[in-house]
């Protein structure tokens, strides 16, 4: 091991020859695709090369290699699960579904204007109903269970009046 630390190629080859079968056996047990298996094994040898000067106990080299192989294979498996291959043909329509920044800005402006209109409602019950109606959190029940049809109709009238009153003069005429 000391010879490999000092750049002796024969000592490095002896380490690899002695432990290659174990590293391959552990990597094969993860049943990774061939490319991922090879990447994991190559990563183990690279890490050994980088950390060899820090290893002071040659008798623990096999233990270190087992742990490094398990870690590399687990990372390859996680990486493979996180990044699934996608057919490029499936991505053709994807770009059209993303809103451009201008659309996002206008949507945020509308959302802010609606909330200003809700805050401008004078009746606290109307404000509560409006917030219940707009509540889209996962734990909120269906809208029909949170408000009655009369409450919704009254709310829409109030909000229309409020939004017309806060709109630009040109918008009021339209």
How many contiguous H segments (helices) and E segments (strands) does the chain have? Answer: 10, 0
**Mind listing the pLDDT tens digit for each residue in 116-169?**
888 888 888 777 777 777 766 666 666 555 667 777 787 788 888 877 876 654
Contact 27, 69 (CB under 8 A): yes
Regarding pTM above 0.75, the answer is: no
Rounded distance, CA 49 to CA 55, Å? 10
Query: Which residues contact residue 133 at a Cβ distance below 8 angstroms, ignoring those fewer than 6 apart?
Result: 143, 146, 147, 152, 155
**Mind listing the pLDDT tens digit for each residue in 26-83?**
999 999 999 999 999 999 999 998 888 888 888 889 999 999 999 999 999 988 888 7
């Amino acid at each position: 091991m000391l010879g490999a630390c000092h750049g002796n190629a024969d000592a490095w080859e002896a380490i690899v020859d002695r432990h290659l079968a174990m590293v391959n056996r552990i990597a094969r047990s993860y049943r990774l695709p061939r490319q991922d298996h090879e990447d994991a094994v190559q990563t183990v040898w690279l890490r050994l090369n980088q950390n060899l000067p820090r290893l002071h106990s040659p008798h623990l080299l096999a233990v270190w290699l087992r742990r490094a192989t398990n870690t590399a294979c687990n990372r390859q498996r996680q990486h493979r699960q996180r990044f699934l291959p996608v057919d490029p043909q499936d991505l053709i329509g994807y770009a059209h579904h993303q809103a451009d920044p201008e659309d996002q800005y206008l949507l945020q402006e509308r959302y802010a204007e609606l909330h200003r209109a809700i805050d401008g409602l004078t009746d606290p019950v109307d404000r509560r109903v409006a917030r219940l109606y707009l509540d889209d959190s996962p734990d909120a029940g269906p809208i029909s269970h949170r408000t009655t049809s009369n409450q919704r109709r009254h709310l829409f009238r109030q909000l229309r009046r409020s939004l017309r009153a806060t709109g630009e003069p040109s918008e009021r005429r339209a």
